[in-house]
Structure 1
Amino acid sequence: MTTEDAREPVVDSELATEALVAAVKAELSDWESHELAAFLRRQPESKDEYRTGSGMPVKRVYTPEDLPSEWADIGFPGRYPYTRGPYPTMYRGRNWTMRQIAGFGQAEETNKRFQYLIAQGQTGLSIDFDMPTLMGLDSDNPMSLGEVGREGVAIDTLPDMEALFDGIDLEEISVSMTINPSAWILLAMYIAVAKRRGYDLNKLSGTIQNDILKEYVAQKEWVFPVRPSMRIVRDTIAYCSQHMARYNPVNISGYHISEAGANALQEIAFTMAITRAYVDDVVATGIDVDQFAPRLSFFFVSQADFFEEAAKFRAVRRYYAKMMRERFGSENPQSMRLRFHAQTAAATLTKPQPLNNIIRTALQALSAVLGGAQSLHTNGLDEAYTIPSEQAMKVALRTQQIIADETGVTSVIDPLGGSYYVEHLTSELERGIDDYMATVDELGGVVAAIEQGFFQREISDTAYDFARRKASGDRPVIGVNKYVDEGAGEKVETHKLDPESEARQLARLADVRATRDENRAKAALDRLVELAGDHDANLMPATIEAVEAHLSMGEITGALRDVFGSYTETPVF
């Protein structure tokens, strides 16, 4: 490698010398025989064994013996293998992006929420879409009845996207869109809005989630079968690598894998397996890995086990760097730097004693910061009930701002680095990823493993085990199975959806269809269908033409379903 940033660390000696380890082992044995043994006779420990949230055994105490044998595995921030962070200065140079997610009702309603959050100091936008939009259905589809704008914003046509970003400078603020099976259509609308405003596409920043493989693994929202869906992801990555220098065309998501029931190790291992499949697919088209890999981004959850979560982020960053260099031959340091958005864990939020959710969220957010997140969303205290109210969103944003400005944790890069316990967890999690990757290889790769139900079974078994431990009280949840309140308990203000929102959205969709140029719309749709039949063609330019002709989300996915077919999962029990 020619760049200083990617060179091998200078130090290449054993971190824990044999003499030191031997001396500590002897002292540990003496301590166990005397102080510890005497104390345990008087006061036994509360459990026979301790484990992390993902089930890894936890020793009583950690020592220099538990550090990596090579300094290179820890290293310096901003230098391969990036264990301590992707950038040399981390938060000393710039805080993480505070990106609270929002989306409900019509585009105009969500736009008002965006304006409120920006006024409160939010530094990036993150958009939730309603279920019909997620599934590529129009708001007037019979299956959409009652779901329009309920759990996210409704987007059917380009005028909706224009209203969503009204008054917001897309060259100045990054935009993240949580969308998967219909992600490429939303990206096309976003590009069309930017073009109409005369923006330079290379100045736009943000991401579409666009991680379709994790849908088959965990979230279960898809439109087409696995392989044509992979082709669409490939097309978006290829298009953005050529036309949108700062935009992330995929946000590979462990978050939803975790929310489906996976543990910390499964979350990062399955995410790395999916990442490898996408990179393989794009490289197979002849695009050099260093042309697109710098714009790959990631999305992880920050769960309840504080130290394991911080170690998880460090481990996956290190594994990714090694994979990109050793498997794909990357030479650009930017291709090896795993950058990630984190979200606190919605699955940990409880309806009983909802104010406890503020504390849960704060600790999970701190864990993500100590793990080196580039972007962070903190959940609202009321999200066990519904999408968050303005008050809950403000408290969640203030949580991040307090961590950034009051705690002092941003002053030192990777303050947990060198911790015997955290370094041990980091190395164990990295080894665990490697073991899972070997299993996926034995099954024939990610798509074959999905078709055989491997990931689904692993997640199902883990989710069942967690539910069993929670029901028995072995896994304490404050306010649910421990320190439970009698009676009604606390009440919180919750968000109320305008009941007229759906009707307004249906009216706008009807108006767009009635006033568009039908000849242009038909020609654009015919062209898109034609290109869909050519596996080597890139669908993005034709999709941009389609949305500019005011074709709707449902019209586009409906026409392509005739080409690609649909997908039915084989249930896993």
Structure 2
Amino acid sequence: MFDKDLLQKYNEKLDKLKSKRPERHPQFVTDSGIEVDTLYTPEDIERLSYENDLGYPGSFPYTRGVQPNMYRGRYWTMRQYAGFGTAEETNKRFRYLLEQGQTGLSVAFDLPTQIGYDSDHQLSMGEVGKVGVAIDSLLDMETLFDQIPLDKVSTSMTINSPAAILLAMYIAVAEKQGVKAGQLKGTIQNDILKEYIARGTYIFPPDHSMRLITDIFEYCAKEVPSWNTISISGYHIREAGSTAVQEVAFTLADGVAYVQAAIKAGLDVDAFAPRLSFFFNAHLNFFEEVAKFRAARRLWARVMKERFGAKEPKSLMLRFHTQTAGCTLTAQQPDVNIMRVAFQALSAVLGGTQSLHTNSRDEALALPSENSVLIALRTQQVIGYEIGVADTVDPLGGSYFIEKLTDEIEKKAMDYINKIDDIGGAPKAIDFMQKEIQKSAYRYQQDIESGNKVVIGVNKFQLDTEKPKDLLKVDPEVGKRQEAKLAKLKSERDNEKVQSLLNQIKQAAQTSENLMPYFIEAVKSYATLGEICGVLREVYGEYQQQIVF
């Protein structure tokens, strides 16, 4: 039994100790500014109802996980985000990772691909293959997945504005392999709102971008039912400088906007909601991160049930991929990044992630080397196979601290969502969210510069070390090779047919027809990404970012 008199005596004893021996800080807080007490007791969670607020894993409100037995049945999908140079080079990296025990692929595309330009466009100069793989046409996509059976591998693609076109290419590659669209499993990020808020790889204005997204929802519900049609991403919101609370709030607010857009387009919520997925950051404040994942799951379940009337259990489940925090990696003493990544990955597993990418130690300096990627993958495997944390469900559930923190994050995130609703929803609240993120990023940087927040090797425990060796360098000639490949492709394909299909896309884009079948037919005839996006630019125009200070 909990005795409040004993708690009172403890607090009196603690006050006397503090007067003699002051604590390290006058106040302890999480990265979201939530105060951390010395001790947590049943008094801190008195108002929580086990059945209504925690429940059982696999049951509403899913605080403790989306599956009844979680990792006892199957480990999370172990992905390594990869992509650089040409499709040939990235294909070799993919096959190497699969041989080492990776269980899913995660594709990084170069910047021209992300903003809908072919490698021969003048704005692509110097950027081809640099931060990801260059994909100009179905020919590149065929090479990227050469000897990789798409009916057996789950693929995640980090692509947003031209997501529908890359998905069309993936479906066409599968068809060439003899794999039906209904057999495909994976995810496209397809989250344009966070691009406007935090990242910047947008092309079209919001209304037209949302139309492309709902076209994907509708098409995949019928033709690619096992595909996750969107990965609503808090990762980049956090990388831009948000707090954990803001990451949850702004991500779920974006999710609300996508659900509203799909319903407005005439889709039934239970027809598309089961294929919504999320993407979160695993940052450094360990317990806050664990609580963040639990709070996000509970809050989304309540939003879908109470706000949208979803009835199917899978419509209420927040299933998510996690990536460790790239913004926390340091160029100084890069081997320390191995420890940072390990603890971040552990918080994701303890928080119940469905899929995980672990960053590599050298990513503050270059794209990861093969050896660094292997260490990152082995980090996940040690967590899964060796240390026992996957043997029981939600092992930190019931901790007074974790439950109180989960509750605090949920409440503060809901306050933000209510503010965004008052503004008119996420598409109209872009400026508000940007300003909130910027203020948080500034405070975080101030804490580092003042020494209030310690970053090993940066503002404490510095060392004079040699510059790391064996960093991966992308061949500067990759752009020329892609240009030559494009020129050859265009000389050999049926250009009259390609132009006819591009004209059909242009006409359909001016109607309410679903564009996915048009994209699939065009890429099969080797229309390029840049050509298709060029047609859409003519119809939709381009989004001009507002500068927010």
Q: Report Cα offsets for 1:70-100 as digits up to 9, x if no partner.
A: 1121111001100000000100000000000
1:414 and 2:414 are equivalent in the alignment: no
Q: Distance in 1 between matches of 2:207 and 2:308?
A: 22
Match of 2:9? 30
Match of 2:316? 336
Quick check: 430-439 or 77-86, which moved more? 430-439
RMSD, matched Cα: 1.1
One-letter amino acid of the structure 1 residue matched with residue 259 of structure 2: V
Q: Distance in 2 between matches of 1:37 and 1:262?
A: 34
Q: Distance in 1 between matches of 2:107 and 2:469?
A: 24
Match of 2:17? 39
Tell me by how many angstroms 1:400 deviates: 0.3
Tell me by how many angstroms 1:40 deviates: 2.1
Tell me by how many angstroms 1:460 deviates: 0.7
1:352, 1:490 within 8 Å by CA — same for their partners in 2? no
Q: Report Cα offsets for 1:230-263 as digits up to 9, x if no partner.
A: 1111111111111111101111100000001111
Q: Distance in 1 between matches of 2:392 and 2:412?
A: 28
Tell me by how many angstroms 1:492 deviates: 4.3
Tell me by how many angstroms 1:54 deviates: 1.2
Quick check: 303-312 or 68-77, which moved more? 68-77
Q: Report Cα offsets for 1:400-437 as digits up to 9, x if no partner.
A: 00001110001110000000000001011111121011
Q: Distance in 1 between matches of 2:68 and 2:183?
A: 24
Alignment partner of 1:531 out of 496, 500, 508: 508
Alignment partner of 2:404 out of 424, 427, 431: 424
1:496 and 2:473 are equivalent in the alignment: yes
One-letter amino acid of the structure 1 residue matched with residue 495 of structure 2: E
1:353, 1:490 within 8 Å by CA — same for their partners in 2? no
Match of 1:144? 124
2:72, 2:392 within 8 Å by CA — same for their partners in 1? yes
Q: Distance in 2 between matches of 1:374 and 1:69?
A: 26
Alignment partner of 1:242 out of 216, 222, 228: 222
One-letter amino acid of the structure 2 residue matched with residue 27 of structure 1: L
Match of 1:442? 422
Quick check: 498-507 or 101-110, which moved more? 498-507
1:208, 1:249 within 8 Å by CA — same for their partners in 2? yes
Tell me by how many angstroms 1:37 deviates: 3.0
Tell me by how many angstroms 1:32 deviates: 1.6
Classify the secondary structure of the residue corresponding to 2:231: strand
One-letter amino acid of the structure 2 residue matched with residue 360 of structure 1: R
Tell me by how many angstroms 1:327 deviates: 1.1
Tell me by how many angstroms 1:281 deviates: 0.7
Tell me by how many angstroms 1:63 deviates: 0.7
Q: Distance in 2 between matches of 1:234 and 1:245?
A: 15
One-letter amino acid of the structure 2 residue matched with residue 527 of structure 1: Q
Q: Distance in 2 between matches of 1:47 and 1:460?
A: 25
Matched ranges for 1:174-573 at <5 A = 174-450=154-430, 453-485=431-463, 487-489=464-466, 491-534=468-511, 536-573=512-549
Q: Distance in 2 between matches of 1:492 and 1:248?
A: 39
Quick check: 515-524 or 151-160, which moved more? 515-524
One-letter amino acid of the structure 2 residue matched with residue 216 of structure 1: Y
1:314, 1:426 within 8 Å by CA — same for their partners in 2? yes
Tell me by how many angstroms 1:446 deviates: 1.3
Q: Distance in 2 between matches of 1:110 and 1:46?
A: 48
Tell me by how many angstroms 1:489 deviates: 4.5
Match of 2:98? 118
1:86, 1:337 within 8 Å by CA — same for their partners in 2? yes
Match of 2:72? 92
Q: Distance in 2 between matches of 1:492 and 1:356?
A: 16
1:352, 1:489 within 8 Å by CA — same for their partners in 2? no
1:353, 1:489 within 8 Å by CA — same for their partners in 2? no
One-letter amino acid of the structure 2 residue matched with residue 206 of structure 1: G
1:382, 1:492 within 8 Å by CA — same for their partners in 2? no
Q: Report Cα offsets for 1:277-298 as digits up to 9, x if no partner.
A: 0011111122211111111111
Q: Report Cα offsets for 1:99-124 as digits up to 9, x if no partner.
A: 00110011010000001000100000
TM-score by structure 1 length?
Answer: 0.94
Tell me by how many angstroms 1:537 deviates: 1.4
One-letter amino acid of the structure 1 residue matched with residue 296 of structure 2: V
Match of 1:172? 152
Q: Report Cα offsets for 1:426-468 as digits up to 9, x if no partner.
A: 0111111210111011111111112xx1111011111111111
Q: Distance in 2 between matches of 1:97 and 1:395?
A: 17
1:354, 1:492 within 8 Å by CA — same for their partners in 2? no
One-letter amino acid of the structure 1 residue matched with residue 325 of structure 2: A
One-letter amino acid of the structure 2 residue matched with residue 499 of structure 1: P
One-letter amino acid of the structure 2 residue matched with residue 561 of structure 1: R
Classify the secondary structure of the residue corresponding to 2:390: helix
Alignment partner of 2:36 out of 40, 49, 58: 58
One-letter amino acid of the structure 1 residue matched with residue 478 of structure 2: S
Q: Distance in 1 between matches of 2:536 and 2:16?
A: 72
Tell me by how many angstroms 1:201 deviates: 1.0
Cα 1:414–1:142, aligned 2, differ >3 Å: closer, same or farther? same
2:66, 2:317 within 8 Å by CA — same for their partners in 1? yes
One-letter amino acid of the structure 2 residue matched with residue 531 of structure 1: A
Alignment partner of 2:111 out of 127, 131, 147: 131
User: What are structure 1's unaligned runs of at least 5 residues?
Assistant: 1-19
1:180, 1:211 within 8 Å by CA — same for their partners in 2? yes
Q: Distance in 2 between matches of 1:130 and 1:438?
A: 36
Q: Distance in 2 between matches of 1:233 and 1:258?
A: 23
Tell me by how many angstroms 1:490 deviates: 6.0
Q: Report Cα offsets for 1:168-202 as digits up to 9, x if no partner.
A: 00000000001111111100100111122221211
Match of 1:48? 26
Q: Distance in 2 between matches of 1:553 and 1:286?
A: 29
1:75 and 2:55 are equivalent in the alignment: yes
Q: Distance in 2 between matches of 1:390 and 1:145?
A: 26
User: What are structure 2's unaligned runs of at least 5 residues?
Assistant: none
1:253, 1:300 within 8 Å by CA — same for their partners in 2? yes
Give the aligned length.
Answer: 547
TM-score by structure 2 length?
Answer: 0.98
Q: Distance in 2 between matches of 1:483 and 1:197?
A: 54
